[in-house]
Copies of this chain bind each other. A is one copy, B any other.
Amino acid sequence: MKIEVGTSYYPENWTRERIIRDAELMKNAGLSYVRMGEFAWSHMEPEEGKFQFEWLEEAIRIFGEQGIRSVLCTPSAAAPAWLCKKHPSILRMDRNGNKAYFGIRHHTCYTSKIYRKYVKKITTELADYFKDDPYIAAWQIENEPGATPFSQCFCEDCQIEFRQYLHKKYQTIEALNQAWRAQFWSGEYTCWDEIELNELLDNQISCRGLETRRFRSRIQAEFVHFQAAIIRDKMPDTMIGTNNYCLSDRYEVFSSLDFAGNDVYPNYRSEETMMLPYINKMACTLYSGLKPGTPPWIMETPPNPGWPMKDLTKFFFWLYAGYGYNKIFYFPWGNAMTSGEKIHLSVVDAFGNTGPQYESVKSLIAEANQVLAPYPELPLPHSPCAIIRDHDAEWMYGGCKISWLEQYYKMFCCSYISLCKNVDFAEIVSKDTDWSAYKLIVLPVQNHISKSLAEKMKNFVKNGGILIMNGASGCFDEYGNQTDCIHPEHVNDLFGLEIGENMPCNANPPVFENNPEFYRKRPVVKGVLNGKEVRGTFSVWTSYLRLTGAKTLLSFENSQLAGLPFCTINDYGKGAAIYYNANYIDQELCDQLIRFATEKAGLTPISYPEDVSIIKRGNLAFLFHFGEEQVEFSTTLRGKNRLGNALHQDKIKLSPQDIALIELETEQ
């Protein structure tokens, strides 16, 4: 087992001598990869049709000869000046005709036919030129394709493609009007040309808003897929990935790629929050779930993220390793001499001088090679608990009310935090993955529940799973409109209840603190969970429930709903389905509910401090202490600690940011 380390490199910025020197430094530090080319279009194609790749080829060879293989990138993230000047229509344009301008990266539109033509041309030339290069290890498509404000593009190509997308999906304008219930607010269309893309934050016509988001996600995925296909055609056996694909359906885009690249910048968070366990676990776990079973890559992460207080490079290196990453790329190798990335934390400085970061990366690689050498390739970490991250559900949820647009994420986090507190490590997966390996699944508000999803939910519970769902789930159709049937559609028997009318609770912010004063003015729910009385508030939405078999876990204490059920459990097959009747609940209440569900699933909630994370890959247990105070706790883990000094008889003592790597006596 080996963790391979790479770095980002920009040969277009440096002299041959500097490249040679850098390659030697990298070899000396034990690096395995360089990633190159992602912003080099103007250097690859200095004028239209005149391609020059020799400088890149030479760099690849210089590195290759030092044993460092290249991850080559397509340059579509930064169109050159001559192209923007010649074809201004490729620039992103807002609904008022205001165009992005050259020099800010991602200034072009993914939909633009002309832009795609030029991207196709240079990608083809690039793949063709390098297809037999022995030093190329993998390809990255684009760079952070999710970082573009593409969702704010309203260029003519976007409008036309949107209409074609709708035309293909609905076939006739009458079908669209009917599906969208378009007579509402005089919204009926008479022909496709009348339809415009929705503004990002406008949800007055919610179906148009939902389809706009689906369309943009599709286009963004296609933009990566079509480039990947060109590479694949020339190099059928290479590895292809991309990095940081947000604002669209990540599961869709990575489905056609070989690996998911994760750009993690712990130091972009505030000093106050960068060491919170759940933030780091979520950052690592999200990308493991994009291609289940395939190790994700850390495509970018800074050296020395704890600068200036502590050097946390080692902590994060092992954290990534523990969470399943076998490849870690530091960004950048050296700082740029100019512009927006002039002053970063970098492995060497802008002039190629080594310093603390270089030394720290070098010794880390040496240590990791030594520590991990005895072990075979480790399996990825696995949890019996998962939470579903579903983009279509998020878009539909956001479309209900303007004020709800950012709430799906917060709601997701609330449950995820509770999972971390109770089971330490939980997986984040798509609703389309195989659920059979899990014992507990949290499914945040799923306004639309299709027949097939309902079937999957029932099978999961029938076979012994514990499922938690909340909010107005199963109340809408696939267009996000209300459905006149028993709610939650298709799964009312699974949950043993019927959800009544949708009732907004004047958009109050979610409450994550136990504030007695607040309780007097707000609806409160209460009950007994895990042997103790619990109380809490909820927000944004609720409803009347009619139980048809479920048992009450929590009920309303006050308000017009006093005495009615709020949270229920229904035994179904070998498992049980839990439901709570709101979008949010207090964090503490959520913690208790997840604890209850964990035990119901036959799992034992963790007994070690929340600041500690323990994760297993095969017979290795990785221990991390995120906190600022020394902790000591009992453990059943038995084995030798291969990293650090933490004792572990029956107690483990960890100092702040301590790491331990225990070779388990038996796989536990």
Contacts and interface: CB of A to CB of B under 8 A. Distances in A.
9 contacts: A13-B184, A46-B188, A78-B186, A104-B204, A184-B336, A205-B339, A206-B339, A271-B508, A309-B521
Contacts of A480: 338
A46 to B, nearest CB: 7
Interface in A195-209: 195-196, 198-199, 202-208
Given A41-B186, A75-B186, 11 more contacts: A46-B188, A46-B190, A85-B193, A103-B205, A180-B338, A181-B338, A307-B560, A309-B521, A309-B522, A337-B481, A343-B541
A274 to B, nearest CB: 9
Interface residues on A, range: 35 or more
Contact of A482 (B102, B304, B338, B482): B338
Contacts of A181: 13, 336-339
A462 interface: no
A194 B81 contact: yes
Nearest to A310: B560
A205 B339 CA distance: 5
A102 B196 contact: yes
A500 interface: yes
A82 B194 contact: yes
Interface in A333-383: 335-345, 349-351, 353, 355-356
Interface in A70-118: 75, 78-82, 84-85, 95-99, 101-105
A559 interface: yes
The 6 A-B residue pairs with the shortest CB-CB distance in the complex, in nearest-first order: A78-B186, A349-B501, A42-B188, A96-B98, A81-B194, A42-B186
Contacts of A85: 191, 193-194
Given A190-B46, A400-B343, A558-B309, A482 B337 contact: yes
- At the interface, is chain A mostly helix, strand, loop or mixed? loop
Nearest to A47: B190
Contacts of A400: 342-343
Contacts of A337: 181, 184, 481-482
A124 interface: no
A10 interface: yes
B505 A307 contact: yes
B559 A309 contact: yes
Interface string A467-490: 000000000000111101000000
A32 to B, nearest CB: 25
A504 interface: yes
A401 interface: yes
Interface string A313-339: 000000000000000000000011111
A36 to B, nearest CB: 13
A350 B267 CA distance: 48
A202 B104 contact: yes
